[in-house]
Amino acid sequence: MTRTFLFFVVFACCPFFTAAQVNFTDSNLPIVVVNTNNQVIQDSVRIIADFGIRYNGPGIRNYMTDPFQYSGKISIEIRGSTSQQYPKVSYGLETKDALLNKLDTSLLGMPKENDWILYGAYPDKSLMRNEITYDIFRQMGHYDVRYRYCELVINNQYMGIYSLMERIKRDKHRVDIAKLTPADTTGDQLTGGYIMKVDKLTGSSSSYFASPYDPKVKYLWHDPEDSELHPDQKNYIQNYIIGFENLMNGPNWNNYITGYNSKIEVNTFIDFMLMQELGRTVDGYRSSSFLYKEKDSLGGLLRAGPMWDFNLSYGNADYCDAYDTAGYQMDFNQVCPSFTSAVPFWWKKFLLDTNYTHLLKCRWTQLRNTVLHTDSVNARIDSMAQLLYEAQQRNFTQWPILGVYVNWNYFVGQTWQEELDYLKLWTEARSKWLDTHLPGYCWDLGTAEHSGPDYVAHQLYPNPAGDRFFLDVYEPFRVKQATFRLFDMTGKVVMDYPGISENRLLINRNGLAPGIYFYMLEQDGRQVVTGKVVLQ
């Protein structure tokens, strides 16, 4: 059953609860304390407040009477756009020194930085949809935000379970790309690094450029922000992205040499697509969708990620078919054409290229045997549930929404356990649909022969092969000055390609006789990829 809502009345149709007075004294989770000194935390304008963390270490209980493990000044504001309709809001904060300058510091074991978020799940009553997504994407080999569950107290008022997490930004411990300064306006320095996002304008910068193929697709500068960029830098990244769109709309869009491979790091787009489709996030592809680009001298291709904003995913939204375990989220433009934001056209076009769909299918198969196996996903949910079991009781006393419809819930569980059971069942059903409906065919993955801590995820295809075949090596491993060798059954080297610095390699057969051959990619004195290929 489909429900239709008008977005301009969401503030009038949502349940608001008067916060209960939980007698909060101690927790198995870290305790985060904010004291605004009688100031009101606002949207967009940050105030200075006192900040502290009570955390005694793994397995040790934390009490409100304990000394702070960390304390200092912060600037803090309410963050988010649609999420501000809920009474439990999220916050953005910066850690400060005594002079109120930005202070890079480690919080709860996360790498030093000054830019943090206190995220409070509200419509996601499992309390874990975002966190599960970030964990999975990291296990897939990419950066995604680190987080630590905590319980938050603001001005002596208990606020419930929150995640203290990293904000997406350029940093050697976050999105690890070159730092771009306003002076970097020529040559290689101009080419990176940029973090962009496809997004709606609410809650974000009003400065953007639109796709020439769909004005509903808006690209926003994220880091550096538009106000920090030189006009030449804004023009560069805008021209790069529009150039990619023009290429995707042109006749040679899937040419291996001059097509989309020359503009994007394909494997990151595949992993991005798989996560968007698995979660079927109702905002998928068209909102909170990040892209980033490194300098040309350091790779230079456009990459997709990290993941962000999955609280209305995994069956948790009741509009635009997002609750349905069947169908593609990339079809959103056809399902809900009246929205003011849209999915870029090139996501669906990728599926017209058999090389792309082969990679997509192989990668999905690999992930379903590992991190996205149903048992692995359920074990992750159970582990989080065990960690949160005690604190969720206080959270839902403070915010009594179990058994209550909150925008935009499709399923309303009467208990927290029912919410977790639904999350498991929905994700399993969605995974099974993708098992049988993702396009493409995967000939050979090689994962059975090659595993262990030194294994580098890769695919060689087609296998059996004809006149040519491809070797794709997955990030985060970066191929640099590597050597590819092909051996016959006697161990004789029959092919030798040195000096490879691309994660995708095209190998021409060059008249080799039919038979079984063994391949190896060697880098820095070790064999990082091995396997066998059958030449027909």
Question: pLDDT at residue 180 above 80?
Answer: yes
Let me know: does 88 contact 161? Beta carbons within 8 Å.
no
d(CA 296, CA 273): 24
pLDDT at 203: 56
Question: pLDDT at residue 397 above 70?
Answer: yes
pLDDT in tens, 117-167: 999 999 999 999 999 999 999 999 999 999 999 999 999 999 999 999 999
Phi–psi pair at 204, nearest 5 degrees: -130, 180
Across 491-500, average pLDDT? 90
Tokens of 23: 């007698």
Q: What Å distances lie between residue 132 and 104, 307, 329, 357, CA to CA?
A: 26, 11, 19, 26
pLDDT in tens, 221-243: 999 999 999 999 999 999 999 99
pLDDT at 258: 87
pLDDT at 2: 37
Tokens of 170: 């350029």
Nearest to 358 by CA among 477, 244, 504: 504
d(CA 413, CA 408): 13
d(CA 356, CA 274): 12
DSSP 8: G
Question: pLDDT at residue 4 above 90?
Answer: no
Question: pLDDT at residue 400 above 90?
Answer: yes
Question: pLDDT at residue 446 above 60?
Answer: no
Q: What angle do CA 304, 102, 110 make, to 5 degrees?
A: 55
Let me know: does 417 contact 133? Beta carbons within 8 Å.
no
pLDDT band, residue 8 (cuts 50/70/90): very low
Question: pLDDT at residue 187 above 80?
Answer: yes
- Model pTM score: 0.84
Q: Which residues of 394-427 are buried (b: 16+ CB within 10 A; e: fewer)?
A: bbbbbbebbeebbbbbbbbbeebeebbebbbebb
pLDDT at 449: 36
Let me know: does 265 contact 303? Beta carbons within 8 Å.
yes
Long-range contacts of 289-292 (CB under 8 A, 24+ apart): 289/197, 289/198, 289/199, 290/168, 290/195, 290/196, 290/197, 290/222, 291/195, 291/196, 291/197, 291/198, 291/241, 292/175, 292/177, 292/193, 292/194, 292/195, 292/196
d(CA 170, CA 199): 18
Question: pLDDT at residue 18 above 70?
Answer: no
pLDDT at 441: 80
Question: pLDDT at residue 43 above 60?
Answer: yes
d(CA 152, CA 118): 9
For the chain, give the mean pLDDT: 91
d(CA 365, CA 374): 13
Question: pLDDT at residue 256 above 80?
Answer: no
Across 329-353, average pLDDT? 97
pLDDT in tens, 46-92: 999 999 999 999 999 999 999 999 999 999 999 987 778 899 999 99
Across 286-291, average pLDDT? 97
pLDDT in tens, 293-325: 999 999 899 999 999 999 999 999 999 999 999
Nearest to 529 by CA among 443, 446, 442: 446
Residue in the structure block whose two tokens are 């000054």: 114
Tokens of 363: 């990668």
Helical axes 416-437 vs 354-368, angle rounded to 10°: 140
Nearest to 49 by CA among 35, 59, 38: 35
Sheet bearing 504-508, strands edge to edge: 458-461, 468-473, 504-508
Let me know: does 298 contact 192? Beta carbons within 8 Å.
yes
pLDDT band, residue 442 (cuts 50/70/90): confident
pLDDT band, residue 204 (cuts 50/70/90): low
Across 390-408, average pLDDT? 97
Q: Give me the sign of the Cα torsion angle 291, 148, 85, 227.
A: negative
pLDDT at 19: 53
Task: Fill in the amino acid letter for 33.
Answer: V
Distance of CA 184 to the CA centre of its chain: 28
pLDDT band, residue 206 (cuts 50/70/90): low
- Residue 492: CB atoms within 10 A of its CB come to 8
Do β-strands 47-54 and 289-293 pair in parallel, antiparallel, or remain unpaired?
Answer: unpaired
Tokens of 165: 């997490």
Let me know: does 366 contact 358? Beta carbons within 8 Å.
no
pLDDT at 451: 36
Nearest to 123 by CA among 501, 507, 494, 419: 419
pLDDT at 76: 98
pLDDT at 7: 32
Across 19-35, average pLDDT? 91
pLDDT band, residue 13 (cuts 50/70/90): very low
